[in-house]
A and B are shown apart, each in its own frame.
Chain A
Amino acid sequence: MTTLTQSQTPIAAETSAPSVNRMPFLLQVSTMTWRTLITNIRVPAVVLPPLIISVFFLFIYEASLSGAARFFLAGQSYLGFILPLSVISASLSGAGVAGQSIVRDISTGYFDKLLLTPVSRGALILGPMIAGAILLAFQTLVVLGVALLMGLNPVTGVPGLLAVIGFSLLLGTGFSGFNVGLALRSGSAAATQSGGFIFFPLSFLTATFVPLDLLDGWIKVAATYNPITYILEAMRAILNTGWDTEIVLRGLSSCVGLGIVMFAFALWSLRGRTARK
């Protein structure tokens, strides 16, 4: 059916039935992840501030509170105690990357272009979420490096550090999911950014500066119900006291639980955005 000039390959379809070749799902996810990664790396302004903020907080907390910490940490390292908070702050502030990528796709119209291809809707959200998590893990790696330079000496050694990075990956995927959900619902950069602040209090309504046992009153109640508390405790234990299975599992399940809720929110939002109306 096609007329060809010598050097050209056909532009129009040659086959009589639509091609049913689809990219395998995992390849779709990795392609979408790669795309989000390269576009974010091209805008360092997106990636650098959360990194700088977490290192900044680490310095400030360590400098101002490490002396006082002698009274309640019974000889444990305050750096090991406060570092997990830095990791969580980084996860929170850096999770915006995934959401902002989606907002950009929606506002440029590229999201619609993707919807016109046979891409799986799941890959459209998983890609940015995983990319967000990878960037966060990288961020955690840098924060850990700085902490090591500041004298951090984790009792569990390298496996412990890897576990902390694992926690940050899980947490990052969860928070990214929440951000992706917000982005899909609102389609607006401002709304996605301010929506992300809902989680900001979560990182403070917890055993932020002192262990849970030393808290009192309403903040103790809030901290007890806050899953972040258990994630913090798990990372603190790994860095300062060793592998306490119960604490680590509690932290892990809090992390996974939070992640599942966030991913469900992202999926639900995606359905709202992509449902043909």
Chain B
Amino acid sequence: MPNGEIIVDQLVKRYGNFAAVNGVSFQVHEGEIFGFLGPNGAGKSTTVTMLTTLALPTAGRATVGGYDIVTEAGAVRQIAGVALQEIGLDPLMKSTELLTIQGQLFGMSRRQAQERGAELLKLVKLDDVTERPVGKYSGGMRRRLDLAMALVHRPNILFLDEPTTGLDPASRRDVWTEVRRLNREYRMTIFLTTQYLEEADELADRVAIIDRGNIKVEGQPNELKAALGGESINVTFKDSDAVELAKTELGGMFDKIQVDRKTLRLYRNGAAQIVPSVMSRLNEQQLEPISLTLTTPTLDDVFLQVTGQRFDVEESETVEVSSINARRIRNN
């Protein structure tokens, strides 16, 4: 009896001596959006290829919808919809042809497959371009058609491997809307890999962060961020000596301090209120920061916390406050 759960237990994938996935375990509950987050090369896609039966694990076990990915691969394919990172569409064919073949291969009659195709093209808003070969579609359109292909056989569980990589912001938001809708309206379990922290934060009920083949942390985005202990003040200096000096000077005022190259991250609840004190302490020691930012914790901070390195600086949701602005805060 299929369900919407994914249970992964100590899954390993080795290529020679290299462990692309090194003993990952996690559980995805029925009807949730699960974000599998990690930088490029972390092992996300390798995990997806194993869970979707394209590759065999070297060790470990996993079930998708209650079916073993090794011994019941056929059943897994019947209940799982898959949109891989590489969009698998023949550019010379039309959307209707691709969807009809896909439906027929899943056992529908030609007519049923055509009807299903038409219904899905409407769903992904591609019903007005059915005469155009797929090769002439934009990236966003191809992504949406790929999503429709994954839905043809009415899967219980949908695997989306980096569904918005390479898309412009508007198309990315379209995909998000669609993912939310599928999850909300059809209670579909969605396993989503992404390298965008913002995407995981926006969409996922729960996330697991994977880095170099290992899961570093798993939980609800809000819980993970809250566990970091509130806001942080990030002060960047010209050199590391200044960072060390500042660390000694400010150590007592914060719950936790982290050094990230030339930036000092200072964590405590209500950090915003003590920005003036921080500035005056630094002034006393004649330490001139290059910049001072106030950050509410993001998944990027969670990533930094668990891996010791930054995920992707551009993705962090920092509130830039220059030292001048910081003085302004003090004056207010």
Residue numbers of A with Cβ under 8 A of B are 1-5, 8-14, 16-23, 27-28, 31, 35, 38-39, 42-43, 104-105, 108-119, 276-277
Contact = CB atoms under 8 A, between A and B. Distances in A.
Contact of A19 (B56, B78, B93, B97): B78
B79 A10 contact: no
Interface of B: 1-2, 52-56, 67, 73-75, 77-79, 82, 84, 86-93, 97, 101-102, 104-108, 119-120, 123, 133, 149, 151, 153-156, 182, 185-188
B15 to A, nearest CB: 9
Residue from B107, B119, B133, B188 whose CB has the most chain A CB atoms within 10 Å: B107
Given A12-B154, A38-B97, A116-B52, 7 more contacts: A8-B123, A18-B79, A19-B107, A31-B101, A116-B54, A116-B77, A118-B77
A28 B52 CA distance: 22
Contacts of A20: 78, 107
A39 B101 CA distance: 13
B54 A276 contact: yes
Nearest to A12: B186
A16 B88 contact: no
Contacts of B93: 35, 38-39
A2 B186 contact: yes
A23 B105 CA distance: 6
A104 B185 CA distance: 36
30 contacts: A1-B187, A4-B185, A5-B185, A8-B119, A8-B123, A13-B155, A17-B1, A18-B67, A18-B75, A19-B106, A19-B153, A21-B108, A23-B107, A28-B105, A35-B93, A39-B93, A42-B92, A42-B133, A104-B92, A108-B89, A112-B88, A113-B89, A113-B102, A116-B54, A116-B77, A116-B82, A118-B74, A118-B77, A277-B55, A277-B56
Contacts of A111: 88
A127 B108 CA distance: 19
Nearest to A14: B154
Closest 4 CB pairs of A and B: A21-B107, A18-B78, A109-B88, A113-B88
Contacts of B52: 116
B82 to A, nearest CB: 5
Given A21-B108, A23-B104, A276-B73, A112 B84 contact: yes
Contacts of B153: 19
B2 A18 contact: yes
Contact of A11 (B75, B84, B91, B186): B186
A13 B101 CA distance: 19
Contacts of A108: 88-91
Contacts of B97: 35, 38
A113 B149 contact: yes
B188 A12 contact: yes
Contact of A2 (B86, B89, B151, B187): B187
A116 B78 CA distance: 9
Contact of A276 (B56, B149, B154): B56
A43 B186 contact: no
A110 B1 contact: no
Contacts of A277: 55-56
A100 to B, nearest CB: 12
Given A11-B123, A116-B54, A118-B74, A21 B106 contact: yes
Contacts of A1: 187
